[in-house]
Structure formats: structure tokens, C-alpha cells
Structure 1
Amino acid sequence: MTTIPATLSTTTDHRLPATIRKAGWIAWALFLAAFAILEGVNHGTGSWLALVAGLIAPDLTFFAAIGAKDPVRQGQLPRQAVPFYNAAHRTWIPLTLAVAYALASLQLPALFTFLLAWLLHIAIDRAAGYGLRTADGFIRG
């Protein structure tokens, strides 16, 4: 019978250090901001409006908590809003849609700008320390 040393039985955190993750999110946000602004310059008013809408839209999920009766503490989202908030703040959703747009033969630059702005919103949130939420509405650690 073999025994496992205590050092091997603990779980290891394989994530990058927080400063490197934050730097990555900042770099990604700067790239997305430049790309979205370029789209606005190249395509005009519709793309500028889509940029603003894409920056705001993910946080409209807070309205899912209208009428919530549960008391919340500072920094906590009402439980009713959490699934909507988490869905709107997952990077893979707008990224997948942006890749699909790029591969399709669509000519809707405002849609692409909206998707870039949505990604930008998520990147800004992550760089600022706001991530996905737990079922109780607090930021995940």
C-alpha cells in the first residue's frame, strides 16, 4: 500500500498570477477599443451607435432583478439577475458570434461593431476586477 504525501494531495491553482491576467485583459481591451473605434470611423453613425449600445447592453441584465424581494448586500446582485448577468458576461458568446460574422458574407458593420463593443465591455469588467457571479450574486474568486 502506498501513501500519498500531503503535498501531492492538495489541489494546485493553475491560473496565471492576477497581475498577468489583469495585464492581458487590459491589452485585450485596448485592442478591442482601437478596433471598435476604427469600425466607427470607417462606417459612420450606425457603427458609433452600435459601439455605445454594445458597451451598455451587458449591464442591462441588472433589470432582470426588478421587483426582487431578496435583500442584497453591497457588491451582491439579486439572485434573479445572476443567470442573465453571467450569460451576458461570458467572453465566448460575443467572440463566437464575431468569428461567425467574419466568416459569413454579411455586410452589417454595425453588428460587428456591437460584438466588438460587447467584448470590450467584458474586457473592461475583467480588468477592473468584475468577473462572473456566484449563484448568491457575489463576484467569483
Structure 2
Amino acid sequence: MTHDAAEGPTRSPASPLVRVTWGVLAALLLIWLVFETAKYGGWVIVAAVAGVVVPDLSFLAALSGPHEHGRMPRRAVPFYNLLHRPLVALVVMAGCLIPESSAVAVPLFNFGLAWLVHIAADRALGFGLRGADGRQR
């Protein structure tokens, strides 16, 4: 199926080297995440699973209302883009450094780590941020 130039790409136009780099990062982060969840178990496993799922919760906002295939409704784009920025996941991971969060420090860190794995895997597969029109950039 070919796409009209006006429609834009369905995947990120990132170079193969950039995508491979994201893929290597995703693999290394996944290894770290598996190590951490095996080490701590319990709520850390729950937090890790949640961290993998959370970025795609933005698709729930995209379900309501009509939209074209491959295009997210405009109102859902800012939420999707926010949840797919590595800096947001890193800030969540840094939340474990707050002294009052000692009870939730390890699950919080692993939640952010899993979120970062999701973002890196998406970028490696060519799924980046969305443009204002709802299409992949």
C-alpha cells in the first residue's frame, strides 16, 4: 500500500542507525529491568508491568470520536507525546531519590525503567512522537 505525500509516513523516518541505537538501548534497559524485577519481586513486578503499559494509555483518549486509520485525534496527541518522552520517564525514576519515598523507591524506579524500555522499543520500531495532525512525525 502506498501513501500519498500529503498523508505523510506511517512510521518514523529516523535513520537505521538511530533505530538500531534505540533498539540496543531498549535491550540493555530490558535486561536491567528483568534483573531488578527478579531481584525484588512482589510489587516491583507489578510496577514494571504497569510501566510498560502506561505510555499506551494515551490511546484510550484516542478511542473516542472519529479518526482516520493511522491518525490519532488531535486532542489525544499532546497526552500521547507527553507519555512518550524519555525525560518524563527519567523524572519518574528520579522520584525514588526523594527521602520520603523510601517505601516506594524501588517500585517507582522500576516503573520508570519499564516506561523507558517501552519508549526505547517504540523508537526502535519506528514509532515516534505524533505531529499536531495526529500522524507519526
Segment of structure 1 superposing worse, 121-130 or 23-32? 23-32
The share of aligned pairs that are identical, in percent, is 40
From 73, 76, 85, the equivalent of 1:81 is 76
Q: Shift of the alpha carbon at 1:104? A: 3.5
Q: Distance in 2 between matches of 1:30 and 1:131?
A: 17
In the superposition, the TM-score normalised over structure 1's length comes to 0.78
From 117, 121, 126, the equivalent of 1:124 is 121
Q: Distance in 2 between matches of 1:71 and 1:43?
A: 43
Q: Which has the larger radius of gyration?
A: 1
Give per-residue Cα distances to partners, 1:39-62, cap 9 Å, x unaligned: 111111211111111111110111
Q: Partner residue of 1:95?
A: 90
Q: Partner residue of 2:38?
A: 41
Give per-residue Cα distances to partners, 1:70-99, cap 9 Å, x unaligned: 431x21111121110000001111113323
RMSD, aligned α-carbons: 1.6
Q: Distance in 1 between matches of 2:119 and 2:87?
A: 10
Q: How is 1:1-141 mapped onto 2 (pairs within 5 angstroms)? A: 18-68=15-65, 70-72=66-68, 74-101=69-96, 103-105=97-99, 106-107=101-102, 108=104, 109-140=106-137
Q: Which runs of 5+ in 1 are unaligned?
A: 1-16
Q: Shift of the alpha carbon at 1:100? A: 4.6
How many pairs were matched up? 121
* Kept after mapping to 1: 8 A contact 2:93/2:110: no
Give per-residue Cα distances to partners, 1:100-129, cap 9 Å, x unaligned: 53x444432111110000000000100000
The structure 1 segments of at least 4 consecutive aligned residues displaced by more than 2 Å after TM superposition are 103-108
Q: Which runs of 5+ in 2 are unaligned?
A: 1-13
Q: Partner residue of 2:11?
A: none
Q: Partner residue of 1:11?
A: none
In the superposition, the TM-score normalised over structure 2's length comes to 0.81
Q: Distance in 1 between matches of 2:82 and 2:122?
A: 14
